A and B are shown apart, each in its own frame.
Chain A
Amino acid sequence: MIKAERIEKSYNGERVLKSVSLSIRDGEFVSVMGESGSGKSTLLQLLGGFLSPDAGRVLWDGQDVASFSERALAALRCERMGFVFQSYQLIPTLNVKDNLLLPTVLGGRLSEETKKYVEMLCEELEITPLMKKLPETLSGGQSQRVAIIRALAYRPSTVILDEPTGALDSRMEGKVMALLSRINKRDKTTVIAVTHSERVAAFADRIVRISDGEILREENEKANGAKGG
């Protein structure tokens, strides 16, 4: 359960989020949509604990993220939550394989089983031949897929993705979305994804629309029965 209570955020006095409240149940698939510059990325980073709100609180299972210790915050990032940044944020000095395993290793959860799982994900998203390359030598779409696998590798209970398919062609977009909805369904993983694409948003249980730093309305896509199989 992730809950945002009246969170506000300004950059240099400019209000980007204005008293946003949001609640996401465990196992839910939520899409966040909105115009460019409306504050989507900011919201996600607040939820993930990468930014701290100027006002309001972000609660993970009832606990305020702001009160997390350094250790708890680190544990959140490499055990409970997977985060895909809009700009991927791959570590330039580690090759693809090391990037993929980084949070797993940091969380101390590397096992043959996780390795197999990561290999499986790589096969699925066609990353396997790139394992030895450095991030600066990858294309935008390849980097994006690496960032996604990195967030999923250690089977976090929540994944937060900032435009996970922005750089992908439609075939790859389909594969990524199929993967996300599979882990959402089978592993009961909570998925929060920002997107500009209605096609992607259609996979979600719920769509949150943001405009000018405020939540406009929420739609229940499930009710529309538009979700793909």
Chain B
Amino acid sequence: MRLFFKHLFRSIRRRPLQPLLLILILTLAVATSLFSASLKRALDGETSGAQTARYGAAHITVTLDGGASSRFMFALDAEALLGARAEVAGCMELPIAYGTAGEAVFGIATDFSEIGRIFDLSFSSYGSLTPSTVADAVFLSADFAQKNGLAVADAFTARVFGKEKTYTVAGISPQPFIEDYDVMLDNSGIASILAADSLILSSMKDGFRPCSTLYIEVLGLSGASALTAADEEKISAVAALLAAAPTFEGRTVSVVHGAVANGNYNEGLSWVVTIAIVLACLLSAAVAFSCLYILSVERSEENRSFMLSGARASQLHLLQYAEVALYLLFGSALGIALSSPVFRAFARAFDLRYAPREPAVSDILLTVGLVAAVGFLTVTCFVLSEPMLKRPAREGKGSLALRLCPLLLAALSAAAVYLLPVQLRYLCFVPLALTFTLAVFAYTPPLFLRLMRALDRRLSLRCERKCGAAHPSLFYAVKNCGEVKMLRNTARLTALLGFVVASALLLVMSSVGHLHFSKNAFSADHAVLGATENCYLGVRDARSVEECYRVYLQTAQTVKGRPLLVLGADGTEAFAEGLRPDTVPKGKRAAISSGDARLAGVRVGDTLALTVGGKTVEVEIAEIMDSTLNAVIIDNEYFGLHYNMIFVNRAAEADEAAMLSELSERTKTELATVMRMQDFWHERLGVLEVYLAAGLAILGVVLFLSLVATLDNLGQSYRMRREALSLYRLSGMSRGALSRMKAYEILLSLAFGLLIALLATAALYPFVRASLHAFGFEQGVGIRNCVRLILS
């Protein structure tokens, strides 16, 4: 045995480049799948982290809506109503101006004593806070404190509601408060400012604690990690109590338990990313397989002479396993080391706040296990299929049933898409990806062989004389493509890589397309949030505004628990091309996007029950829209749901700054927020953009791996064929013709591989698209739209 290992190390030393390249490729393969797996974990962490940051332990939120007669709401009212059934914290968003250059930031005023019961606040540094100093205390986010050079106990002078006041920094938190806010004040500090202007308010003193949002945690739940049906009932009961209470007239009560904002998109994109990750892992496996396969071929030839001089096959097999294990060991170690900085760079670039920034041990084990299994399988396949003393098995063997197996599996998983109910179609994602990959893997080499042999026959029959002499390089390249296993492997690898990259690209682009077209569902460039009727009157008459619409926008829940966007508007003009019902529905009638109609199983004339703003409304489907956005359009006023925002189009002659200042001037008494449409979508869809970034990052890594693997594969196979190719020179082929022949070979195998990749992608995509229906993805995912987006 020692002799064999000596031989192994000597052959490694003789040609050190090959093992080094092999280790490099394995490193990249491990790094790619580990990066992808970590990304998945990070996205999940980020989503649930954002959810916790935004809602804390709250199950219900109460917000002001446009119909509210008073801008003030009191946590005390909710406490009085709910008693021991719930924990309540109230917050008020407020613009804070600070510094000499007139910088402004949105801060939040809360009750310091209450907020900690619902939100898990943590501080990286903390000063002292006593009941007497609380009104002058301010908490800052680490980012904000650093940007402004503030530390605990420093003074922070700010203007709130036009009054300047100096606060003392009492603590610095590593994260912004309630997901978005950099500055947190205590309500008592705000109350004293407001009271200075108002006799009534000053008489209320400490009792005056207004807020714009209430966070309510229902107590006495089962305490299990997931809510039970009884828990949900309790929560609904509390929500109903609030919605019915006269003190909360004109407020929107939303149940937020577990349902992530934009739930359906999140779920869909999470699956898209999952499948991209599965594809990336498959690809890593394919790459590992292909380079280990070349190694096995080479070693088995060396080993054949060992066998001939009496070595036992088992010893040589052991040697092959040992060698692969050695490379895997180095490759995995380097891959793990490489993926961690790449992953951290991604986390930094996309500002992941809540996700872990290091690959998890379980992911490392999974990835290394995957690649190790592929290595083991490759050698085993090789050992079993090509006993060293036998001639290599000729292709075309194997029973018909076995040969048709990949095709049948692919057909089966494709059929399953249509056999399963729409809601469950996403389950087909992974089987589809696996079986199509298997089919590409299995069929590319024989198809390439057949095609090249047919081409060869044609060339030989038709123009052996002319083409042969004029283009000997092409003539013999075709012959080689039919005969050389390495070239078939190249075609297969190219097909696999092309298929994976193209499918993942299409998948990610279709989601990008979906988001892109969603964002363009409204024909407006600015939005006024939390707008009251007074705001509308002010905005409508503003000189810088060309046109404006009142809009109702709220996430509702269908009976099946699926989140669904509910829209209302005072005219069809509010909607852009992608989402334009024939008429704005009146009364009970509603227009629903076709994807959601399919998911909810409703047709025109059916009724659909929705829970929106704490109310349950029953709408009658009057129209099914071919829209780019998943939404149902209702007559919100009919159901007593007030418009909650205004969409604004700027007049051509006004510039943006002028319009913004005019609008904020006209709406400031109503505590409304004016923002650009793109910021509005960014806030609502920000998490989704991280998903897409993740998809694109996986794509980039996969593309890189593919290029390196293809080049390495070509290099290796030519190194192995060097001797065979030099024979052409002995027969009188010139060096130029030989290089041209190699170029044609590469071109033919790459072109064929890419062709198969495109065909397979095109074949897979309709099924993927159909399974995306499980998430209501509708327009914008068509191939033509995707290509248009990619090109733009």
Contacts and interface: CB of A to CB of B under 8 A. Distances in A.
Interface stretch (B267-275, B331-339, B726-734): B726-734
Interface in A61-100: 70-71, 73-79, 83, 85, 89-94, 98
A136 B472 CA distance: 23
A111 B468 CA distance: 11
B732 A107 contact: yes
A75 B732 contact: yes
B580 interface: no
A57 B675 CA distance: 88
Contact of A110 (B469, B479, B730): B469
A109 B727 CA distance: 20
Contact of B731 (A77, A92, A136): A77
Contacts of B470: 108
Contacts of A107: 469, 732
Nearest to B483: A93
Interface in A139-198: 150
A92 B724 contact: yes
A105 B475 contact: yes
B479 to A, nearest CB: 6
Given A102-B731, A105-B475, A136-B391, A93 B464 contact: no
Interface residues of B, number: 24
A90 B516 CA distance: 61
Contacts of B483: 92-94, 134
A89 B734 CA distance: 17
Interface string B399-414: 0000000000000000
A50 B730 contact: yes
Label chain B's interface by main secondary structure.
Answer: helix
A70 B735 contact: yes
Given A91-B724, A93-B480, A93-B484, A103 B468 contact: no
A76 B730 CA distance: 11
Nearest to A69: B734
A101 B483 CA distance: 17
A160 to B, nearest CB: 12
Nearest to A154: B732
Main secondary structure of the interface of A (DSSP, over half): helix
B736 interface: yes
A106 B464 contact: no
Contacts of B732: 74-79, 102-103, 106-107
Residue with the greatest number of chain A CB neighbours at <10 A, chosen from B479, B483, B731: B731
B476 interface: yes
Nearest to B464: A110
Report the interface size class on chain A.
20 to 34
A19 B670 CA distance: 108
Contact of B734 (A70, A83, A92): A70
A89 B727 contact: yes
A103 B731 contact: yes
A98 to B, nearest CB: 6
Contact of A106 (B465, B484, B731, B736): B731
B737 interface: yes
Given A105-B472, A106-B733, A93 B724 contact: yes
Contacts of A101: 464, 468
A111 B734 CA distance: 21
A105 B468 contact: yes
A85 B734 contact: no
Contacts of B475: 105
Most A C-beta atoms less than 10 A away, residue of B465, B475, B724: B465
Interface string B725-765: 00110111111110000000000000000000000000000
A110 B724 CA distance: 24
B730 A111 contact: no
Interface in B705-732: 724, 727-728, 730-732
Nearest to B726: A89
A134 B485 CA distance: 14
A101 B547 CA distance: 81
A4 B480 CA distance: 37
B736 A70 contact: yes
A105 B464 contact: yes
Nearest to A110: B465
B653 to A, nearest CB: 74
Contacts of B734: 70-71, 73-74
A30 B358 CA distance: 77
A94 B479 contact: yes
Contacts of B727: 89-91
A77 B731 CA distance: 6
Interface of B: 391, 464-465, 468-470, 472, 475-476, 479-480, 483-484, 724, 727-728, 730-737
26 contacts: A70-B734, A70-B736, A71-B734, A74-B734, A76-B732, A78-B732, A79-B732, A85-B730, A89-B727, A91-B731, A92-B483, A92-B724, A93-B483, A93-B724, A94-B479, A94-B480, A94-B483, A101-B468, A102-B731, A102-B732, A105-B472, A106-B732, A107-B469, A110-B465, A111-B465, A134-B483
Interface of A: 50, 70-71, 73-79, 83, 85, 89-94, 98, 101-103, 105-111, 134, 136-137, 150
Given A91-B727, A93-B479, 14 more contacts: A70-B734, A74-B734, A74-B737, A77-B731, A77-B732, A78-B732, A90-B727, A91-B724, A102-B476, A103-B731, A103-B732, A105-B468, A107-B732, A108-B470
The 7 closest A-B pairs by CB, nearest first: A78-B732, A77-B732, A108-B469, A93-B483, A74-B734, A105-B468, A103-B732
